[in-house]
Amino acid sequence: MDVAVPYGTGTVGFRLPDAAQVTVATPRVPLAGVDGGKAIDEALEAPVGCAPLRRQVRPGSRVCIAISDYSRHTPSWLILPRLLEELKLAGVREDDITVVVATGLHRPTTQEEWGRMVGADLVRRLRIVNHDPDDAGNLVRLGVTSRGTPVVINRLYVEADVRISVGTIEPHHLAGWSGGPKNVLPGLASRESVLANHSLTFQPGVAIGRTLGNPVYEDLLEVAAYVAPLFIINVLLNERKEVVRAFAGDVREAHQTAIRSCSDLLTVSVPDLAEVVIVSPGGAPRDADFWQAEGKALTRAGVAVRPGGTVVLAAECAGGIGHEQLAAILKSRGAGEILSSFPREDFTTVKNKAYRLARLLDRVRLVFLTRGVTADDMPGFPVTFVSTADEALACAFGERGAAGASVLVVPRAPAVVLQVAESGPNGGEGATNSR
């Protein structure tokens, strides 16, 4: 059986032996693209949980719109013109609108990337700025959530009369689902706030596709309440980056409506844990570096592989590790040291990524098909690096061969929610419950 998974801007093909039992994790029904502009218009016309923007906004209101950064496929170029038209009907001038790129802890988005994200015309017409999580002068401290997360948010967003968030909705390994409140935290929050929220990652209830009882997500909603009312526009995209569905309205109600709809489409039931999982983050930009590939693919593959099994990660990673601090940790420390020291150290996102990798490798083998990362980048980690699909399969099956081996192929890990039947000590880890 031949299967191909995204790799950079192209694909890489795997020729799987007929003797293997192969499952390909894709949505149950094809995600058909629709007229994206029409879908967005309809969502804006009938938002969930609130009145249309044109009835909420007054002439002269200061409007701040948060948009996704370079690491997301959000079609802001398609959404923003429709938002501007809606705001124009309410009497808002473009001079009263600020667009803030919700960078979170990512690097700043470049002006060239702004052009690709929103279009050259809107770059010229609108005030666009990057959020900086470390710029104390442009952050406002609003309070503390019930879980102890300090609410420190971008000043432009806090002081606006109208706050809007534009994003995509897809399964997320911490919050359950992206979109909704995530452009506020981590998108527009301080480093202190982001780290406090992410430190909830190992509490019960944190799982891909789950929001009910998920402390990370519930914490995000508390943060979003500090900048209420918050109007969201979220879209579901297919593998061709076409709009499948659009949702707009109140951050809490519209997001839950979107989650119910998308969960029905994207949940994939897997009968049992696989001996071999072949996974891709979905190609560029999700596999631009290991920082992205770890969160977008490895964290998702781990829930579907048997103890002692093998994960084959196919990620180009042309940008290498992609984060200086993570690169330094992976270069200087071994997996065993990280496993033993992490619980005693202060939480950081970087250390958490290294710990997740070490914890995965304590349970399974990792074969890394890449051209941008080598064994020299993580010498203390038992990772096998290969440059071809044939090498990856030879390492995965080893001497036992492929006869009867169960293989799960996940071509676009961020685009599905794997629901694995409970079996064995790790069966069902990460099982979903988005309701």
Query: Are residue 40 and residue 24 in the same domain, yes or no?
Result: no
Same domain, 185 and 62: yes
Closest among 213, 100, 263 to 167, alpha carbons compared: 100
Is residue 283 included in any domain, yes or no? yes
372 falls within a domain: yes
Whether residue 8 sits in one domain with residue 79: no
- Answer yes or no: do 201 and 336 share one domain: no
**Domain check: are 112 and 232 in the same one?**
yes
Q: Average the pLDDT over 12-28 and give the result.
A: 93
In this prediction, residue 426 carries a pLDDT of 34
Q: Is 383 left (phi over 0), alpha (psi -120 to 50) or beta?
A: beta
State the pLDDT confidence band at 28, using cuts at 50, 70 and 90.
confident
**Least-confidence region, from 192-206, 281-295, 397-411:** 397-411
Check whether residue 316 and residue 396 sit in a common domain: yes
Q: What is the pLDDT of residue 435?
A: 31
Q: How far apart are CA 369 and CA 318, in angstroms?
A: 12
The yes-or-no verdict on residue 256 having pLDDT over 90 is yes
Q: What is the mean pLDDT of residues 105-128?
A: 93
433 domain residue, yes or no: no
Query: Could you tell me the sign of the dihedral formed by the alpha carbons of 214, 414, 151, 222, in that order?
Result: negative
Regarding whether 207 and 66 lie in a shared domain, the answer is yes
Q: Is 90 exceeded by the pLDDT of residue 404? A: no
- Verdict on whether the full-model pTM lies above 0.75: yes
- Average pLDDT score over the chain: 93
Q: Which domain holds residue 228?
A: 36-237
Both 16 and 105 in one domain: the answer is no
Please give, one letter per residue, the 3-state secondary structure of the chain.
CEEEEEECCEEEEEECCCCCEEEECCCCCCCCCCCHHHHHHHHHHCCECCCCHHHHCCCCCCEEEEECCCCCCCCHHHHHHHHHHHHHHCCCCHHHEEEEECCCCCCCCCHHHHHHHHCHHHHHHCEEEECCCCCHHHEEEEEECCCCCEEEEEHHHHHCCEEEEEEECCEECCCEECCHHHHCCCCCECHHHHHHHHHHHHCCCCCCCCCCCCHHHHHHHHHHHCCCCEEEEEEEECCCCCEEEEEEEEHHHHHHHHHHHHHHHHEEEECCCEEEEEECCCCCCCCCCHHHHHHHHHHHHHHHEEEEEEEEEECCCCCCCCCHHHHHHHHHCCHHHHHHHHHHCCCCHHHHHHHHHHHHHCCCEEEEECCCCCHHHCCCCCEEEECCHHHHHHHHHHHHCCCCCEEEEECCHHHCEEEECCCCCCCCCCCCCCC
The one-letter amino acid at 164: I
Give me the percent of the chain exceeding a pLDDT of 70.
96
Tens digit of each residue's pLDDT (9 = 90 or more) over 39-86: 999 999 999 999 999 999 999 999 999 999 988 889 999 999 999 999
**Domains contained in the chain, number:** 2
Tell me what pLDDT residue 422 has: 57
Q: Are residues 144 and 232 in the same domain?
A: yes
Q: What is the CATH number of the domain that holds 319?
A: 3.90.226.30
Tell whether 72 and 89 lie within a shared domain: yes
421: Cβ contacts below 8 Å, ≥ 6 apart: 269, 270, 271, 272, 427, 428
> Same domain, yes or no, for 98 and 146?
yes
Look at residue 429 in the predicted model and tell me its pLDDT. 36
Q: Which of 185, 214, 237 is the C-terminal boundary of a domain?
A: 237
How confident is the model over 232-246, as a mean pLDDT?
95
Q: Is residue 253 part of a domain?
A: no
Asked whether residue 189 is assigned to any structural domain, the reply reads yes
The residue among 197, 221, 237 that closes a domain is 237
The answer to whether residue 292 is domain-embedded is: yes
Tell me the mean pLDDT in the region 320-347: 91
The structure tokens listed for 315 are 């990620």
According to the model, what pLDDT value does residue 45 have? 97
Q: How far is CA 257 from CA 48, 208, 432, 434, in A?
A: 8, 17, 16, 11
> How confident is the model over 319-341, as a mean pLDDT?
95
Q: Is 246 within a domain?
A: no
Same domain, yes or no: 136 and 80 = yes
CATH code for the domain in which residue 104 is found: 3.40.50.11440
Cβ neighbours of 244 (radius 10 Å): 21
- Cα separation, 289 vs 293, whole angstroms: 6
